[in-house]
Structure 1
């Protein structure tokens, strides 16, 4: 269990959220969970919806999600096995909508090549599952959550104070790469010798409130009462090219996949999910997304 130099109640909260992130952050987990969100599916039905995942990747993911209590394998009849979400996994779906909304608002849109002009252009919208995975890649690494919570609780802090609060038991030198990564990702700023949350880091409040409620088994309706991350701050105005660049763990967008044959054509124009809404059939692939990999500058430069 992760521990911090914060009050005991906050320590427990951070530990629960950190453990929850460890379950859902691994690459493609969100795609698998959202694929199962509408109804239980046989493996042969899951496979074409996630065609870029080979059997050696998809099988272990289903097994690990089942071990984590988010998915379940049900033998309907001999030779007929389905995979679906547990009640715990189903309760996670509204939390994912909150994370998707944060990613859509605060993450920079990636550049893709226009097939007609050959020029790089910025996507206007990103598939909800991709926004979720990219957001989780920012807050999922070890110690990221404890550092962000410590800064939220204590305000501007020196590296020494931050190390004592968020990483007790570690040497002071260990905090620098952790917090500097968050600075690079745009969630933390450094002012002289002090670190503090940026507006984008402060805007993680609804994400952490939702994760805290889910991790403790409370209804999402109780999230607004979170002692540290609530109530909700006024939303910041979105800039034309705002948002942190994902420097920590670049995610490769999934290849474009068609919506199920039964899905109505209108799904292709659906907006990204918003907090409090449920995933509907086709939401997973509701936006055309680029075939991987996206060409990125080889000598540095912004990355999603």
Structure 2
């Protein structure tokens, strides 16, 4: 993936990136947003599309994302409620494309046998899983500020990183998050007492830029007036599939995807192009099952 210059090191940009990562970090948040990327759904319609989602997990995710202003709850009647993306939620989908492309290129994959040729090749990972795994690496506290500082500096000592990325903490506090980033393959020791980004860490520049552009974009006036949370019943005089049709925001530019696999579809103005296969790498079960345990990628 081609990288660009690091994003401007301003407090507002960094704060916007870290808050957005916190928004997406709870498990299944990405899947919920992608599931309603093409049309609003009623509560019962989520289960067939997200069979691995355990009972009791959907409601808190919907509330979390609704309060954040990326999902809108529209109540037509006490038993007729739909959940769809707001304009802010729609504008987040192209950012997913950038994160998914980074994860597909830089996150490790197991080798599996090709059913046609029998040759070993990297396992196909669904975009939603790539996004979730990438967010899991970036969302831990202090991870993104450290990466942000190294994007700007190139090489920095632990003392410099502690001062810039963890103000108010002692020098020793920086070593634990640094060790985690080294283990995750995003940071490496320079050999002279400093730290620098790996190729995967440097390639996060367009990811941070896309997230920052989304986080700092002005909120559409209609969304600003709409109460965040569990909204009131919409006017029945509105037409269209949404009772309160959101304004579609223009998508930020998406860097070219790696040539090793077809580029993910971007989000056209009239709707996103995520496909069911972008949610899960394997066939969905006939009924809900518990997700397998094990470490994240």
Listed as ranges, the matches of 1:40-119 within 5 Å are: 40-110=40-110
Task: Please list every run of 5 or more consecutive structure 2 residues that lacks an aligned counterpart in the other structure.
Answer: 1-7, 219-248, 285-290
Alignment gaps of 5+ in structure 1: 1-7, 225-231, 239-269, 297-302
Moved more, 278-287 or 47-56: 278-287
**Secondary structure at 1:73 match in 2:** strand
Following the alignment from structure 1 to structure 2, what is the Cα–Cα distance between the partners of residues 222 and 288? 27
Whether the aligned pair in 2 keeps the contact of 1:71 and 1:84 (CA below 8 Å) is yes
The question of whether the paired residues in 1 share the 8 Å contact of 2:151 and 2:205 is answered with no
Say if 1:142 and 1:205 are closer, same or farther in 2 by CA, change over 3 A.
Answer: same
Matched, 1:211 2:211: yes
**SS of residue matched to 2:60:** helix
Matched, 1:273 2:272: no
Evaluate the alpha carbon distance shift between residue 51 and residue 286 of structure 1 in structure 2; reply closer, same or farther with a 3 A threshold.
closer
- SS state of the match for residue 56, structure 1? coil
For residue 237 of structure 1, report the CA deviation from its aligned partner: 9.5
RMSD (Å), alpha carbons? 3.3
The structure with higher relative contact order (CA 8 Å, sep 6+) is 2
Cα pair distance change 1:134/1:220, threshold 3 Å? farther
1:147 aligned residue? 146
Distance 2:179 2:294 in 1: 26
- 2:240: which partner in 1? none
- Count of matched residue pairs: 250
Partner of 1:18: 18
Change in 2 beyond 3 A, CA 1:203/1:32: same
Deviation track 1:95-141 (CA, whole Å, cap 9, x = no partner) reads 001101111111111356999xxx9x664321110010111111111
Output the CA distance in 1 between the equivalents of 2:188 and 2:274.
Answer: 40
Q: Cα deviations across residues 215-248 of structure 1 (Å, max 9, x unaligned)?
A: 0016777669xxxxxxx8x99998xxxxxxxxxx
Contact 1:112 1:295 (8 Å CA) reproduced: no
Match of 1:168? 167
1:118-137 correspondence runs (5 A): 123-137=122-136
- Aligned match of 1:37: 37
1:112 and 1:290 in contact (8 A); partners too: no
Does structure 2 retain, via aligned residues, the 8 Å contact 1:159–1:176?
yes
* Distance change in 2, residues 1:67/1:112 (3 Å): farther
Q: 1:282 aligns with which of 275, 278, 292?
A: 275
